[in-house]
Amino acid sequence: MVITDLDNTLYDWVTSFVPAFYSMVDAACELLDVPKEQLLDEMQAVHRRYGNSEQPFALLETPIVACRFPNFDAEERRRHLDPVFHVFNKVRRNSLQLYDSVRETLQVIQQSGALTVAHTDAHVGNSLFRLSKLDLTELVARLYAPLKQSGTELICSSANGLHALRDYVHVLPPEDRKPNPKALLDICADYSVQPTRTLYIGDSLFRDIHMANQASVHSAWARYGTNYNPELWSKLVRITHWTDDDVATEAQLRVEAGDVHAEVDLNQFSDVLASFTFSRGANGDLPAQGIEPVSAVLPQSPDV
């Protein structure tokens, strides 16, 4: 079995999200005639309240918007700011792309009879959108991800949202965030696959590879996923939900992880094919790849 991270492992999330977010902010500043730094501060405060930076509708909850439209309800504010959200969607849609060789490699792994599942700290709604947008739901058998802190997800806009996806989505409890190795061991148990016959692929040495090593699964570091414009990272940190405590926790994780190494460093996703052999295991009852209803219950305007 292959367990793969999503963001900056299968696609460049940083390069798709950050420009889309800042394009949205620029459009909002022009529409609302407000200072950019003030709006960024207020959106970051909303992100921290939710514990999630992928919350572009945070704009609707800022004091600036409340002040500009004191007599509007939430839906009226959303309609008025709809052009701003379209800017986000347009930029993100044009920049969200798979890394080279990802699709072809996942197809080879699938054809071998091995199973691929996704494991991420990104929330279910956003992760599902990207898997569907990039046409990966037939190559990734299941998604393991947390719900938003608010307990609501875009895919739950209909009462049957998560119910229709119950065979595709496994909701992770808060304590199973990376780098907790329990999540990986639970995934192995779900499919009756031994950790020694499991490969984890991820771009973070401290969260992905350290976790994989602790779970005694094989590990491959997506080195290519760290190759993005450092200015984009600075912009992400500017509006992130991370608190001072989060930064301190990250520093402690680095200390605990020590000098982390993966079994294999990947310069591109397809490098896994040269380092590992994939085949169907003894368990003949693994679930079928993909699931038909995924695209049917996803929202038309995702992430926002």
Segment 21-37, tens digit of pLDDT: 999 999 999 999 999 99
pLDDT of residue 261: 93
For range 216-232, the mean pLDDT: 95
The answer to the question of residue 91 being in a domain is yes
End position of a domain, from candidates 71, 95, 119:
95
Instruction: Output the pLDDT for position 163.
Output: 55
Residues 170 and 256 in one domain: yes
* Residue 165: pLDDT over 80: no
Q: 165 and 84 in one domain? A: no
Residue-number span of the structural domain to which 44 is assigned = 15-95
CATH of the domain at 225: 3.40.50.1000
- Looking at residue 135, what is its pLDDT? 96
Residue 166 within any structural domain of the chain: yes
What pLDDT is stored for residue 290 in this prediction?
Answer: 38
Banded pLDDT at 224 (limits 50, 70, 90)? very high
Which letter, b or e, does each residue of 250-287 get, where b requires 16 or more Cβ atoms within 10 Å of its Cβ? eeebeeebeebebbbebeebbbbeeebebeebeeeebe
Q: What pLDDT score does 56 carry? A: 74
145 domain-assigned: yes
Residue 45 confidence (pLDDT): 95
Task: Determine how many CB atoms are found less than 10 A away from the CB of residue 245.
Answer: 8
Least confident stretch, 71-85, 209-223, 278-292 = 278-292
Convert the pLDDT of each residue in 137-164 to its tens digit. Answer: 999 999 999 986 543 344 443 334 555 5
* 115 close to 261: Cβ distance less than 8 angstroms: no
Apex CA 95: angle with CA 169 and CA 20, to 5°?
85
CB 43 within 8 A of CB 239: yes
Report pTM. Answer: 0.86
| Residue 218 located in a structural domain | yes
191-219 pLDDT, tens digit each: 999 999 999 999 999 899 999 999 999 99
Q: Sorting pLDDT into bands at 50, 70 and 90, what band is 293?
A: very low
Residues 58 and 131 in one domain: no
- Same structural domain for residues 107 and 163? yes
22 plus 51 within the same structural domain: yes
Identify whether residues 266 and 119 lie together within a single domain.
Answer: yes
31 falls within a domain: yes
Per residue in 239-270, pLDDT (tens digit) is 988 877 776 776 677 677 668 999 999 999 99
Is the residue at 302 inside a domain? no
31, 62, 95 - which closes a domain: 95
42 has pLDDT over 80:
yes
- What's the structural domain count of the chain? 2
Report residue 69 CA to chain centroid gap: 33
Q: Could you tell me if 80 and 109 lie in one domain?
A: no
pLDDT at 297: 42
In this structure, the answer to whether residues 140 and 71 fall within a common structural domain is no
Where among 95, 128, 156 does a domain terminate?
Answer: 95
Tell me the one-letter amino acid at 39: L
